[in-house]
A and B are shown apart, each in its own frame.
Chain A
Amino acid sequence: MLKLENLHVYYGGIHALKGITMDVPDGKIVTLIGANGAGKSTTLRAIAGLTRAQKGSIKLMNEDITGKPAHIVTQKGVAMAPEGRRIFPNLTVLENLMMGAYPRTDKEEIFSDLDWVFSLFPRLKERQRQKGGTLSGGEQQMLAVGRALMSRPKLLALDEPSLGLAPVLVNEVFDVLRQIHEEGCTILLIEQNAKAALKLADYGYVLETGRITMSGPGRELLENEKVKKAYLGE
């Protein structure tokens, strides 16, 4: 589905990504874990076209999307729930969700997808007329995921969906991610909550200061001594 090849990103003089190579196979959940400042969000921003990669290539279904602007990448089937949720605070929940379907032209199916998102997040259906900014943190996260799903993406890219959520809510969000995955959506999950992410993921990558230092199936990484020490606090 998605292939990154030797990706380099610089912020001015800072070398943020130093050659990332990773693979997100079709129909799998892949997670990218790492500490603060490792370059997780930068990787995602580069994929979504929000940040320019100076070197390397990004391929979506064998099509080169390196350097393509964000609205083109979205049209090609990548939906992103950006870091910090970034919902539209003054639009209603329903309007927020409809913005997610913005690039789509198949009007009839948008409403069946709306029903689908409401079935995944019943809370959003109850609050559809409320303004996005009045939702609680967990509900806003659900809205961010729901909004990304409204574009009916081939690849769903999530940046720290557990950020700032109570453990109960983290489980709730991750349960929905599992459900979405079972319905055939490929997911790239960026997480600091390594334990929850690796449990869910088919495959995991560990990012350290702009480089991938380890990778392997989620379960394997969970058992790895180094990962345990550095990220799982055991």
Chain B
Amino acid sequence: MKREWRMPLTILSIAIFALFIWWAQNHLNAYYIRVLSTAAIYIVAAVAYNLINGVTGQFSLGPNGFMALGGFTVALLVLPVSQKQIVYFLQPLIWPFNSFSLPQSLFIVALLLAGIVAAIGGIIIGFPTLRLKGDYLAIATFGFGEIIFVLANNLISITNGALGIKGIPEYSTLMWTWGWAIFSIIVVSNLAKSSYGRAMKAIREDEIAAEAMGINVFFHKMLAFTVSAFFAGVAGGLLATLITTVSPSLFMFTMTFNLLIIIVLGGLGSITGSAITAVLFAFLQELLRTVEAPIQLGPIHLPGVAGMRMVVFSLLLILAMLFYRRGLFGRKELSWDLILSIFERKGEGVGTTWKKEKMKLS
């Protein structure tokens, strides 16, 4: 395909999609809107998570902690003052959060602050843990998620403890969630394509070789970790204003586990793969509610088992590991070239050729 066609085609398809989202917001019922919004939030979180796990190859288990930071930040910023007085009956909310709340017009500010708080959390956590490799990093970031969980349960004057915060205004419309989803895909995939991204991929491939090539390994890991934390924080904020309540249990390790399923099934390192699997995951989660319902098989009555969905997802993960280890997309990206190469059966549409590389640089 001609190079100059790609950009207009991408813009055109985003515009068509935006029209669909606008139509969906106005014509679909609340249930479908909720599922679509959840899908978009999963996209933001999964795409960000894939940057650190898939592109940079650093096995982090901490996105639930970053989402919690973002979720609570947005909740504290947008919850109306009157509602704050009702919710915090155990211990009053600390100053300055008890004296103000951002109006709907400043929702974007709340979301950006959620991302920034999470990113700062990422930097603080990254400094000690990103010197660790492989399993050690996984354990340390897992610990971070647990620390946030315990803090959220016990800092009652900020988070209202295990009771959580209720009555958050429902600001997350489809435009917000899908807007952020598309924005995160654009930012992360451009980052992965840039020279920073090349350095991140080199670190994933071989850290010592990357260091010997003159790549500042710590800086690039930190960059990936911080950007990833930022978007995870935004995703947490969107989630808080979608389901109108946050509590520590919302951001337990299950959240990270869901995201891990998404990025592994989508293909570690494939941004578009994560995005597509995130949507599939959100819809499957709803469809699979049937397996949790009581089932009447002739004379046998099977009581519903809560959590059966996760069993199905875990089985899917095991099957993928056995038979389809690279996930849906492997490390490829869904691009116009890839779509065309399926039709044309050329088979080399995705490979980087010298000419392409030359064009990219000049």
Contact = CB atoms under 8 A, between A and B. Distances in A.
Nearest to B199: A102
Contact of B214 (A91, A102, A114): A102
A183 to B, nearest CB: 21
Contact of B209 (A86, A95, A114, A128): A86
B331 A90 contact: yes
A107 B206 contact: no
B212 A95 contact: no
B205 A75 contact: no
A86 B202 contact: no
Contacts of A75: 214
A100 B213 contact: yes
B296 interface: no
Given A91-B201, A91-B205, A129-B351, A86 B358 contact: no
Chain A interface size band reads 20 to 34
Contacts of B213: 74, 99-100, 102-103, 147, 151
Given A86-B209, A102-B195, A151 B214 contact: yes
A86 B211 CA distance: 11
Q: Per DSSP, are chain B's interface residues mostly helix, strand or loop, or mixed? A: helix
Contacts of B214: 70-71, 74-75, 102-103, 151
Contacts of A91: 201-202, 205
Contact of B205 (A90, A111, A147): A90
Instruction: Give the interface centre of A69, A88, A110 by most chain B CB atoms within 10 Å.
Output: A88
B239 to A, nearest CB: 34
B120 interface: no
A84 to B, nearest CB: 9
Nearest to A107: B361
A50 B202 contact: no
Chain B interface size band reads 20 to 34
Nearest to A49: B211
Nearest to A111: B358
B26 interface: no
B204 to A, nearest CB: 8
B264 to A, nearest CB: 17
A50 B211 contact: yes
Nearest to A90: B205
A142 interface: no
Given A71-B215, A88-B209, A128 B199 contact: no
A107 B362 contact: yes
Given A94-B357, A107-B362, A70 B352 contact: no
A98 interface: yes
A82 interface: yes
A49 to B, nearest CB: 8
A81 to B, nearest CB: 8
Given A90-B331, A110-B361, A129-B353, A102 B215 contact: yes
5 contacts: A82-B212, A86-B206, A94-B352, A94-B353, A98-B198
Interface of B: 195, 198-199, 201-202, 205-206, 208-217, 331, 348, 351-354, 357-358, 361-362
